[in-house]
Amino acid sequence: MAGRILLLVLFMNAVFFIVNAVPETCPADLGGKCGEDGEWEGEFFPEVPKIKYEGPSSKNPLSYKWYNAEEVILGKKMKDWLRFSVAFWHTFRGTGADPFGAPTKYWPWEDGTNSIAMAKRRMRANFEFLSKLGVDRWCFHDRDIAPDGKTLKETNSNLDEVVALAKELQGDKIRPLWGTAQLFMHPRYMHGAATSSELGVYAYAAAQVKKAMEVTHYLGGENYVFWGGREGYQTLLNTDMERELDHMAKFLEAAAAYKKRIGFNGTLLIEPKPQEPTKHQYDWDAATTLNFLRKYGLLAEFKLNIECNHATLSGHSCHHDLETARINGMLGNIDANTGDPQVGWDTDQFLTDVGEATMVMISVIRNGGLAPGGFNFDAKLRRESTDVEDLFIAHISGMDTLARGLRNAAKLIEDGSLAELVSKRYSSFDTELGAQIEAGKADFEMLEKKAMEWGEPKVASAKQELAEMIFQSAL
Amino acid sequence: MAGRILLLVLFMNAVFFIVNAVPETCPADLGGKCGEDGEWEGEFFPEVPKIKYEGPSSKNPLSYKWYNAEEVILGKKMKDWLRFSVAFWHTFRGTGADPFGAPTKYWPWEDGTNSIAMAKRRMRANFEFLSKLGVDRWCFHDRDIAPDGKTLKETNSNLDEVVALAKELQGDKIRPLWGTAQLFMHPRYMHGAATSSELGVYAYAAAQVKKAMEVTHYLGGENYVFWGGREGYQTLLNTDMERELDHMAKFLEAAAAYKKRIGFNGTLLIEPKPQEPTKHQYDWDAATTLNFLRKYGLLAEFKLNIECNHATLSGHSCHHDLETARINGMLGNIDANTGDPQVGWDTDQFLTDVGEATMVMISVIRNGGLAPGGFNFDAKLRRESTDVEDLFIAHISGMDTLARGLRNAAKLIEDGSLAELVSKRYSSFDTELGAQIEAGKADFEMLEKKAMEWGEPKVASAKQELAEMIFQSAL
Amino acid sequence: MAGRILLLVLFMNAVFFIVNAVPETCPADLGGKCGEDGEWEGEFFPEVPKIKYEGPSSKNPLSYKWYNAEEVILGKKMKDWLRFSVAFWHTFRGTGADPFGAPTKYWPWEDGTNSIAMAKRRMRANFEFLSKLGVDRWCFHDRDIAPDGKTLKETNSNLDEVVALAKELQGDKIRPLWGTAQLFMHPRYMHGAATSSELGVYAYAAAQVKKAMEVTHYLGGENYVFWGGREGYQTLLNTDMERELDHMAKFLEAAAAYKKRIGFNGTLLIEPKPQEPTKHQYDWDAATTLNFLRKYGLLAEFKLNIECNHATLSGHSCHHDLETARINGMLGNIDANTGDPQVGWDTDQFLTDVGEATMVMISVIRNGGLAPGGFNFDAKLRRESTDVEDLFIAHISGMDTLARGLRNAAKLIEDGSLAELVSKRYSSFDTELGAQIEAGKADFEMLEKKAMEWGEPKVASAKQELAEMIFQSAL
Amino acid sequence: MAGRILLLVLFMNAVFFIVNAVPETCPADLGGKCGEDGEWEGEFFPEVPKIKYEGPSSKNPLSYKWYNAEEVILGKKMKDWLRFSVAFWHTFRGTGADPFGAPTKYWPWEDGTNSIAMAKRRMRANFEFLSKLGVDRWCFHDRDIAPDGKTLKETNSNLDEVVALAKELQGDKIRPLWGTAQLFMHPRYMHGAATSSELGVYAYAAAQVKKAMEVTHYLGGENYVFWGGREGYQTLLNTDMERELDHMAKFLEAAAAYKKRIGFNGTLLIEPKPQEPTKHQYDWDAATTLNFLRKYGLLAEFKLNIECNHATLSGHSCHHDLETARINGMLGNIDANTGDPQVGWDTDQFLTDVGEATMVMISVIRNGGLAPGGFNFDAKLRRESTDVEDLFIAHISGMDTLARGLRNAAKLIEDGSLAELVSKRYSSFDTELGAQIEAGKADFEMLEKKAMEWGEPKVASAKQELAEMIFQSAL
C-alpha cells in the first residue's frame, strides 16, 4: 500500500508539482453526498434539468436551439442522422491538465481515489448525464472506466465489475457507440502496442484488446475502435518501420479473427491521426490508412473513424478526409470535434462552426447516414472551464451546431442548385465517348485522333465564387 | 502575327508589368555571338572550365570537393550511386519570376524569342552545361524544349525538330533520366488534365502524353514521369472527387498500355505533391499515391518519384517518404531538392544540408541504388541569383552535398553501430514466438495466455540520443 | 520596337510557355466594340444591372442579400461602417496566372496591349464596375494603372495621363481609399526597395513613392499604403539585417516628411505580411511593425493596414492582429480577404465566412469605424473563374459577408451578454487595490503581504464554451 | 494527510491512469542506497566517470569529441563562449509524461515522494551531475527544487531549506545561470499570473516572483527569467487583451523596481514563446516582446532569453530571432534546444544539427559572447529514453554540437570570405550619398533628382548559392 502511494507521488512529478490543500478552482457544490459505502446518494447534477428543444430564439444556455431529436429531416429523424455519443474519457476523466499544468477540475462527485467504488460512482454520473442530455450512446476506453489491478487478471476483474454496473444502467435504450482499449497511456506502451519493439508488449496489447472487445460486445456496443496513438515513431534513426508495419497488420488480422470467433458483429474502426503523441503515426490520415489496409488485405474487415481535428492536423480539411473515406466505402464513424487553425496540436474542441458542420453533414447525408456508426464527441472542456454546467453547455453547443449543419445541408440539397452546378461541370463526360473513357475503352491512339480533330478544347469557368455564395446563403 | 504579339503582351499582364528597355540585372557577358542563322557560335560558358574533383580543402567554387565520380564507395562508383540529372526547365527556362515579380534572368544566349531556333540554341547550351559538369543525364517537359505551334500537329512537329537535335547532341553517353508532359501551364489545363471536368481536355492530355512518351523513348529515356500539378481541386464545393479519381485511373491505365504498345521499357513514375498549385492534389504523398494505385490495380505499372520539398510540404520528413516508397518496393527516383522549413510553398532549393543528404543516401543504399532512376535536380537558382556562374555553383553544391551524404552513409554502414542499435531493439521478435507472430499464427487467445504468464513486460530505453550522437559523429 | 517584342517574348518564358492562337477559356462576349482611336464604345458590363439590395431570401446572385448601403446600424449607415473599396490590380490586372500556370482570363475589353489607350479603357471599366456595385472607393498601385515608359520621366508622364482620366471619371463622389507604389514586381527591386543592397534602387524607389504620393493626393486619396513585399531577406547568410532596417526607417522618415511638404493629409499605412515573396519580411505582423515604428520614432506618422490573409500566415487569427493594432491606436484600414487554413501561401480569397466577418466587425465597431480607412477588397477570383460575372459575384459575396458580420456584431453588442461575461471576469480589478495596481502603485512587498493575508485565491471558470455559444447563436 | 493523498490520487487522473506495482521501464540500478534519514549514501552515477575531451575520433559516448573547455577559440576559452547550464526541471523533474502518456522514468535515487528530503537528495544528484559533466551553471524554477507547503509561508520556508543546501553544494565555482518562478503549473494560474483575470492571483504571483528573485540573488544567480506560459489567451471572446497587457507591464515594472531594492545585479530576461500552453502568448517572439517593452518604457530593464524551439514555433529560424534580439542590443541568454520541423509543438530536443549550431554561434560571436547569460539546456530526454546514462549522452551531444558550431563559426570568421561577400553587397552605401541617406539627410526631392540622372540602376546577383557553399564547406 505504501508502495502504491509512493508511486502515486512519483507520478505526480509528471506535473512537477504538488498541492497540499483543498482544490483552488471553484467546484460547483451541488449538495450531493456520499453514503458510508461510497455510493453517491441523490442526483449528480441536481441543478441541471433535462435539456429540451426550445428553438433558435431561446436565450437559455441549457436548452437546444437547433437539435430537435424527433424532428424529421430528409426523411429521417434528427437523432437517427446524428446518433450522438458522449466520450467517457473527456467528460468524466478529463482533468484539465496539460503539459504545463496540473489538473483544474474537481467535480463534486470525485473523492480523489481511483477505486472501484469511485469508478462506479462516475459511471452513475455518466448515465445521469446521458439521460439529461437525451443522448443514447457513449464511448469508452477500458482503462477510463475501471482501475488497473496488480495483474492483468485483476485488472480484467475490475473491468468486469464496472462493466456489469454499466450494463445494468444502460437499460434497454442506451448502449456504447463503441469501446476501445487504451494502449498509449501506460509506460509499457511507450514504444507502441502492436508496433512495440518488445514482443511482450505486443502480447499484452493483444490480451488487452481481446478483453476490451469482449466487454464492448457484452455491452451491446455497435463498433470497436483502434486508435494507434503510439503506433509510429519518434525518429527513424532507431526504428525498423517495415517490421513495425508488418506487426501492426498481423495484430489487426488477429483482432478481426477474434471478433468473428466471439460473434461480435460491430464494425471495427481505425482512427487516423498524423502525429501526437509520436512524431509520426502510421495511421496518418484516411488515405494512408487505406493504403495500409489494402496492402495487407484487411480492407473488408475495417472502416474508418474520421476525427475532424486529426484531419486538419494532417493538412486536410475535415470534409476532405470524410469524402476520402466515403468514396472508398469506408466512412464508419465521426469523432466530432474541431481544432484551432493556428494551433499545431490536437485541441479537441467542441465544433461550433456552422459552415464546417454543414460540410460534415453533406458528407453524412451522401453516405446515407453513419449507422451503425455515429458522432462521438471526442471533445473536451477548455482547461479553464471548471463549472459542472460547462459540461452541459459544451455538449449542447456541439449538438446544436451539428443539428444546424444538418438543417443547412438539407436546405442545400432540397434547393439543388449547388448539386446542379457540379453535375453541369462534368456533363461533357455524360456522352458516348465519356462512357467509353469511364469504361476503360478509350486508348491513347483514339484519344489523340479526337484531340487532333477537335482542336483547342473549350474550358468553362469553375464558378467557385458562385458555389461559395450558394453555400453561404444556406447557412 | 499581330494577334500573336498582342497575346504575348496580354500574357505579360500575368506579371502586371512591362519593360521597354534593356535588362536591368547584370547578365554575364561571356562574349558569345549569334550567327546569321541564329546558331550560336563558340562556347556558351567560355569562362567556366570542366568541373573537376579537387577535394575538401579546395577553395575553388568551380570544383567538386566531395563528388569524385569514379571513386568507389561500398562497391559502386559514386556516379552509379548518384546518377545525377539536370532539369532542363529550371536551368534553361527558369526566369526568376515569382507571383509578385517579373523575370530577373537574362542569359547571354537568349534572344528573347520562343522560336525553334532559340529552342535549339538552348539545347546546345544544355549539353555544354552537362558536359562541363560531367553529368550524363537530363530531364525535360515537352513544352520546355520546344515551342507550342498553332495546332497540336504543329506543336508535335516543333517538338520532333528539337528532339532530333537533342538526340544528336546526346551522343553515346548522355540520355534522359526521364521525360514528361507539361500538363499544368496552359489555361486549358486549369481544371486538371486527366481530372479536368472537360472531356476535350482529357483527350488533349492523352495525346500530349502519348507524344511525350514517344519522344522520351526515342531519346533513350530511362523513365517517364507523371506530376499531377492540376490533378486535384480548389474547393470540394464544385468538385466530384470520386469521378475525377476514376478518370485519373483510366488515364494512367491507358498510359501504361501505350507504353507496352510502343515497346518502351522505362519505368513509369508518379511524383507526389500535396498541394500547390491546387489546394489539394490527389497524389498528396507516397502513401496516398500508393493507395490510389492499389485501389485501381495499377501498382505493378508504376513506381514513385519522391521529391524532398514535396515530402516536407505534406508534413513528412523527406526520409519518411523515401522509406515509405522503399518498403513498398516503389522507390524509383528522387527529385533532389529541399524546402525552407519556415516556408509554406515549394521553394525548390538545392539541397545543402549534409545531415539530410546522409539520411537520403541511407535510403538509397538500402534500396540498392536507384537505377534505372537517379537524382534529378528539380531545383532552381534563387530569384536574386543572376550570374551565369550561379548555375554551376548551385549544381556543384547540390552534387557535393549528396556525395558527402553518400560518404557519411557509407561510414555509418561500415561502422555498423547504428544498425546494431536498431536490430537489438527488435531482438525479442527474433524468437520462436516472434516468428509465429510474424507468420500470422499467433491468435489473441494464445497471446493472452502468454501475457498472463509473463506478467508486466520489460521495456528498454529507445536510445534516441545515442542514435543521434552516432549519426552526428559520422557527418 | 523589335527589341521590345523580343523582350516580351523573353518575359513569356516566365511562364515557360507560349500560345499562338486565340484564348482558350471562354471570355464573356458582351458585344462591346472598339472605336478607331481605341476608345471603348458602349458599356463594359451590359448584361450586369446595377446591383441592388433584395434581402436574404433573394436567389439572385447579382443582388445584395445583407448589404443595404443606407440602412442604419448602431447609429451609422452600413456604407459608412464598411467604406468598401475595389482593388484595381486584382480586378483589372489579375490574369489568373500562378507559379505553375499561364493567364486564364481574357476580358472582352482587353486588346492584349499594355498601351496607354488600353490603360484608359481599363480605367473606364473600373468606374463602370464601381458604379454598378455602388462602391465609392478604389485602390491602386502606380504600375497597375499606367504602363512603364522608357525612362522614369516617361513613366511618370504615362501615369499623369491616366490619372487625369481617373480624376475626371471619379466625379464628386468617388475617390481612392488609397494609392501605393508597386515596389516589388520590377527586377530592379529583387533585393528590396528601401532595403535593397543597391543605393541606386533606394533612390529610384524614393522617386517612385514621391510620385505615387503626389498622384494619390491629386486624386483626393484618403490614405497612402506601404507594403514591403521585397523588404526582407531570402537568407541571413548574405544579408545585413541591421543596416537594411536602418535604411527602411530613413526611407519612411523621408516619406513622412514629403507628405507634409505637399500638404497631403491622408494617413500613411504600413501593411504587415510575414513572408512571400521573400522568406522573411520585416513587417512580419502588427506587433513586429509596431516595434519597428517605435524603435525609429515613427509611431506618430503611420497606422496599420491589416490584411486577414497576412495575419493568418503569420500564425495569428485575423481578429488578433486587428485587436493588436486597435489597442495600440494604430488600426487604420483593413484589406478584406481570407486565406485557406490548409494552404501556406497568400490565396487572397474573398471572405465568405460569416463567423470570421463578425469577429472583424466587432473590432471595427470598437474602433469607432475605420475612417479615413475602410475595407479594401485585396481579393481575387480563383484562377478557374473566368466569366465576367464572376467579378461581380465575388465582390457581392464579400460585401454581403461583411454586412452580415456587421449585423451580427451589432446584435451581439445590443444583446450585451458577451460583453458582460467579459467585464465580470475582470471585476476583481474594479476595486481599490485593482486601481492601485493599474496605477503602478502596488509594489511587491505590499502585494506579498496581501497574498499572505488572503491565502489561496479563488479562480472562476473562464466560460469559453458559454461565450462560444452566445457568439454562434448571434450568427 | 488523508486529504493530501486523496488529492494526489485525483491528480493522477490527469493521466487517466493508475499503476499498482513496480515501475515497468528498466531503471538503471546503480547500486545506490538510502540511509535511515533519507540521505543518499555514495554516488548517484557510480558508473559514469568524469566526462573528458577525447577528440572527434573517439567512439566513447561518454566523452567530449568537440567540447574542450579550456581550449581557446577566437581569443576566448570554449567554456567562456559557451557558459553551459543544466536545467534542473528537465533533468531532475522530467518524468517522460506527455498528454497521452504516464511517466516513464524511474531514477534510482527517487523514492516516489515530493518530500523535502527527496528534494535535497535530488539537489545532491544535480551537483554530482554538474561536476561529472564539468558544467558550472544550473537553472531552476522555485517549484522544481522544493515542494509546495500548505501556505505560501510554508512553501517559502521549504524553498529556503533546499536553497540553503544548494548554496552549500555550489561551493565557489558553481552558481545559477538563472532562477525563475513557476507561474504556470498550479491551477491558480490557469488564467495567467500577471495577466490573470483574478486580482488575488496577480498578488500571489508577485509574492512568488519576489521570493524567487530573492533566492536567485542569494545563490549568486547571474540572471532572472520570466517565461509567461500562461500570459496569453485561449480565445479573444472572453478576454480583455488590452487590460491584461497593462497588468503585465505593471507587474514587470514592479519586478524591476524590486530587483533594485534588493541590490540584485543580474539581468532580467523575458523568454518569448508564441503559444503552448495557451493559444496565444503575449511574448510571441523577439519583436513582439520588444514592442511590448518599448510601449511600456521597460526596454532598459530587460533583455531577451531566446529559445530556438520557440523561435521556430513562431515561424522564424532560430538565427532570425537571435539576430533580432542582437541588433536591438537585447540578446541576453539562449535556451539551447531544437524542435522537430514537422511537429507543431515544443519538443525541447537537444540540438544536434551542426549547421544550426554554427548559425547560432555566429550570432553569439557577433554579440561578443552572452555573459552574464549563457546556454541553458532547456531540453529533455525523449519519453522513451529511460537509462540514467541517457541523461549524460544527451547533454554531451548538445554540448559537442554547440562546440562544433563554435569551431565552424570561428573558421568562417577567420576565413572571411562570407563576411566579404556580405559587405560587398552593400558597398554602394559606403559612399557620400550612402552616408547622407544613413544620416537621414537625403530627402525625396534629392533622391528623385539622382534617380532621374542615373537611369535604370544596376542590380548584382545576391550569390545565395555561393554563400551556402562557403557556409557548408566550413562544417
Name every residue whose Cβ is closer than 8 Å to that of residue B256 and which is 6 or more positions away in sequence.
Answer: B268, B298, B301, B302
**For range B202-224, the mean pLDDT:** 98
Question: What is the C-alpha separation between B32 and B42, in angstroms, rounded?
Answer: 6
User: Do A179 and A286 share a domain, yes or no?
Assistant: yes
Q: Does A203 touch chain B (CB under 8 A)?
A: yes
pLDDT in tens, D282-318: 999 999 999 999 999 999 999 999 999 999 999 999 9
Question: What is the C-alpha separation between B26 and B464, in angstroms, rounded?
Answer: 50
Q: Does B187 touch chain C (CB under 8 A)?
A: yes
Question: Contact B391/B109 with Cβ under 8 angstroms?
Answer: no
Domain count, chain C: 2
Question: Contact D235/C425 with Cβ under 8 angstroms?
Answer: no
User: Do B282 and B379 share a domain, yes or no?
Assistant: yes
User: Do C411 and C448 share a domain, yes or no?
Assistant: no
**ipTM associated with this complex:** 0.93
Domain assignment present for residue B268? The answer is yes
Q: Does B426 touch chain A (CB under 8 A)?
A: yes
Q: Does A26 touch chain C (CB under 8 A)?
A: yes
Torsion angles phi and psi, residue C64, rounded to 5? -85, 135
User: Do C99 and C137 share a domain, yes or no?
Assistant: yes
CA C221 vs CA A40, C138, C176, D369: distances in Å = 72, 9, 4, 50
| Whether the predicted pLDDT of B357 surpasses 70 | yes
Domain assignment present for residue A195? The answer is yes
Torsion angles phi and psi, residue D367, rounded to 5? -80, 0
Within 295-314 of B, beta carbons closer than 8 Å to D belong to: 312
User: Do C208 and C300 share a domain, yes or no?
Assistant: yes
Q: Does A262 touch chain B (CB under 8 A)?
A: no
Q: Does C11 touch chain B (CB under 8 A)?
A: yes
Give the active site residues of D: 141
Task: Please write down the HEC assignment for all residues of chain B.
Answer: CHHHHHHHHHHHHHHCCCCCCCCCECCCCCCCEECCCCCEECCCCCCCCCCEECCCCCCCCCEECCCCCCCEECCEEHHHHHCEEEEHHHHHHCCCCECCECCCCCCCCCCCCCCHHHHHHHHHHHHHHHHHHCCCEEEEEHHHHCCCCCCHHHHHHHHHHHHHHHHHHHCCCCEEEEEECCCCCCHHHCCCCCCCCCHHHHHHHHHHHHHHHHHHHHCCCCEEEECCCCCEECCHHHCCHHHHHHHHHHHHHHHHHHHHHCCCCCEEEECCCCCCCCCEECCCCHHHHHHHHHHCCCHHHEEEEEEHHHHHHCCCCHHHHHHHHHHCCCEEEEECCECCCCCECCCCECCCCHHHHHHHHHHHHHCCCCCCCCEEECCCCCCCCCCHHHHHHHHHHHHHHHHHHHHHHHHHHHHCHHHHHHHHHCHHHCCHHHHHHHCCCCCHHHHHHHHHHHCCCCECCCCHHHHHHHHHHCC
Q: Give the one of A153, A235, A457 whose C-beta lies nearest to B467's C-beta.
A: A235
Share of chain D above pLDDT 70, in %: 91
DSSP codes of every residue in A24-51: SB-------EE-TTS-EES-SSTT----
Range of the domain at D442: 427-474
The Cα diameter of chain B in Å comes to 90
Domain assignment present for residue D355? The answer is yes
Q: Which of the residues C90, C141, C191, C316 is marked catalytic? A: C141
Distance, in angstroms, between B217 CA and closest chain C CA? 23
Contacts of B110 in chain C (CB under 8 A): 10, 13
Q: Does A316 touch chain C (CB under 8 A)?
A: yes
pLDDT in tens, B230-273: 999 999 999 999 999 999 999 999 999 999 999 999 999 999 99
Higher pLDDT, B21 or C34: C34
Please give the residue of chain B at the shortest CA–CA distance from C110: B10
Contacts of B452 in chain A (CB under 8 A): 151-153, 207
Q: What does the buried/exposed string (b/e) look like for A341-368 if buried means 16 or more CB atoms within 10 Å of the residue's CB?
A: ebbbbbbbbbbbbbbbbbbbbbbbbbbe
User: Do B433 and B338 share a domain, yes or no?
Assistant: no
| Whether the predicted pLDDT of D34 surpasses 80 | no
Higher pLDDT, C16 or D363: D363
Please give the residue of chain D at the shortest CA–CA distance from C155: D452
Question: Contact B181/C98 with Cβ under 8 angstroms?
Answer: no
Distance, in angstroms, between B205 CA and closest chain A CA? 9
Please give the residue of chain B at the shortest CA–CA distance from C105: B187
User: Do D378 and D431 share a domain, yes or no?
Assistant: no
Question: Contact A462/A424 with Cβ under 8 angstroms?
Answer: no
**For range C353-376, the mean pLDDT:** 98
- The average confidence (pLDDT) of chain D is 92
User: Do D322 and D465 share a domain, yes or no?
Assistant: no
Q: Give the one of D151, D238, D285 whose C-beta lies nearest to C467's C-beta.
A: D238
C141 is annotated as an active-site residue: yes
What pLDDT was estimated at residue C63?
A: 98
Contacts of C188 in chain D (CB under 8 A): 456-457, 459
| Whether the predicted pLDDT of B28 surpasses 60 | no
Q: Does A236 touch chain D (CB under 8 A)?
A: no
Contacts of B187 in chain C (CB under 8 A): 23-25, 96, 101-104
* Interchain proximity B475–D475, CB inside 8 Å: yes
Residue whose grid cell is 496539460: A98
Domain assignment present for residue A7? The answer is no
How do beta strands A175-180 and A223-226 pair?
Answer: parallel
Domain assignment present for residue D117? The answer is yes
Contacts of B17 in chain C (CB under 8 A): 143, 148, 182, 185-186
Nearest 5 degrees, angle CA D374-CA D375-CA D380? 150
Please give the residue of chain D at the shortest CA–CA distance from A146: D17
- The CATH number covering residue B404 comes to 3.20.20.150
User: Do C210 and C152 share a domain, yes or no?
Assistant: yes
Torsion angles phi and psi, residue A93, rounded to 5? -120, -5
What pLDDT was estimated at residue C40?
A: 65
Helix (H) or strand (E) holding A61: none
pLDDT in tens, C130-183: 999 999 999 999 999 999 999 999 999 999 999 999 999 999 999 999 999 999
Q: Give the one of B209, B314, B443 whose C-beta lies nearest to A315's C-beta.
A: B314
Within 83-142 of C, beta carbons closer than 8 Å to D belong to: none
* Interchain proximity D185–A100, CB inside 8 Å: yes
User: Do D400 and D441 share a domain, yes or no?
Assistant: no
Q: Give the one of B153, B460, B471 whose C-beta lies nearest to A452's C-beta.
A: B153
Please give the residue of chain C at the shortest CA–CA distance from D453: C152
Which residue(s) pair with B226 in the sheet?
B270
Contacts of D262 in chain C (CB under 8 A): none
* Interchain proximity D386–B460, CB inside 8 Å: yes
Q: Does C63 touch chain A (CB under 8 A)?
A: no
CB atoms within 10 A of CB A217: 18
**For range C290-308, the mean pLDDT:** 98
Cβ pairs A/C, distance under 8 A: 137
User: Do A287 and A319 share a domain, yes or no?
Assistant: yes
* Interchain proximity D143–A16, CB inside 8 Å: yes
- The average confidence (pLDDT) of chain B is 92
Q: Does D384 touch chain B (CB under 8 A)?
A: yes
Cβ pairs A/D, distance under 8 A: 241
Domain assignment present for residue D371? The answer is yes
Contacts of B461 in chain D (CB under 8 A): 25-26, 384-387, 390
User: Do B165 and B282 share a domain, yes or no?
Assistant: yes
Distance, in angstroms, between B385 CA and closest chain C CA? 10
Q: Where is the domain boundary, A375, A394, A415?
A: A415
* Interchain proximity D102–A24, CB inside 8 Å: no
What confidence tier does C320 reach under pLDDT thresholds 50, 70, 90?
very high
Share of chain C above pLDDT 90, in %: 91
Q: Where is the domain boundary, C415, C442, C461?
A: C415
CB atoms within 10 A of CB C173: 9
* Interchain proximity A18–D5, CB inside 8 Å: no
Distance, in angstroms, between B87 CA and closest chain C CA? 13
Q: Which of the residues A90, A141, A316, A395 is marked catalytic? A: A141
DSSP codes of every residue in D284-343: -SHHHHHHHHHHTT-GGGEEEEEEHHHHHHTTS-HHHHHHHHHHTT-EEEEE--B--TT-
Domain assignment present for residue A435? The answer is yes
Residue whose grid cell is 516589388: C184
Its sign, for the CA torsion A159, A161, A162, A166, is positive
| Whether the predicted pLDDT of B31 surpasses 50 | no
Q: Where is the domain boundary, A415, A439, A462?
A: A415
| Whether the predicted pLDDT of C107 surpasses 50 | yes
Q: Does B282 touch chain A (CB under 8 A)?
A: no
What pLDDT was estimated at residue B44?
A: 96
Question: What's the pTM value of the predicted model, to 2 decimals?
Answer: 0.94
* Interchain proximity A459–C352, CB inside 8 Å: no
Q: Does D387 touch chain A (CB under 8 A)?
A: no
Burial of residue D31 (number of CB atoms within 10 Å: 0-12, 13-18, 19+): exposed
Nine-digit cell at A30?
A: 451541488
Substitution target in A237, A240, A296, A428 with the highest count of B β-carbons within 10 Å is A237
What is the crossing angle of helices D199-218 and D152-170, to 10°? 20
What pLDDT was estimated at residue A1?
A: 30
Nine-digit cell at C433?
A: 487595490
| Whether the predicted pLDDT of B61 surpasses 80 | yes
Q: Does A341 touch chain D (CB under 8 A)?
A: no
Q: Give the one of A101, A188, A191 whose C-beta lies nearest to D184's C-beta.
A: A101
What confidence tier does B371 reach under pLDDT thresholds 50, 70, 90?
very high
Query: What is the number of residues in chain C?
Result: 475
Q: Give the one of D95, D275, D343 whose C-beta lies nearest to A14's C-beta.
A: D95
Q: What is the pLDDT along chain A (475 residues), one digit of tens a residue?
A: 333 333 333 333 333 333 333 333 333 333 444 454 556 666 899 999 999 999 999 999 999 999 999 999 999 999 999 999 999 999 999 999 999 999 999 999 999 899 999 999 999 999 999 999 999 999 999 999 999 999 999 999 999 999 999 999 999 999 999 999 999 999 999 999 999 999 999 999 999 999 999 999 999 999 999 999 999 999 999 999 999 999 999 999 999 999 999 999 999 999 999 999 999 999 999 999 999 999 999 999 999 999 999 999 999 999 999 999 999 999 999 999 999 999 999 999 999 999 999 999 999 999 999 999 999 999 999 999 999 999 999 999 999 999 999 999 999 999 999 999 999 999 999 999 999 999 999 999 999 999 999 999 999 999 999 999 999 999 9
The amino acid present at B219, given as its one-letter code, is L
Domain assignment present for residue A200? The answer is yes
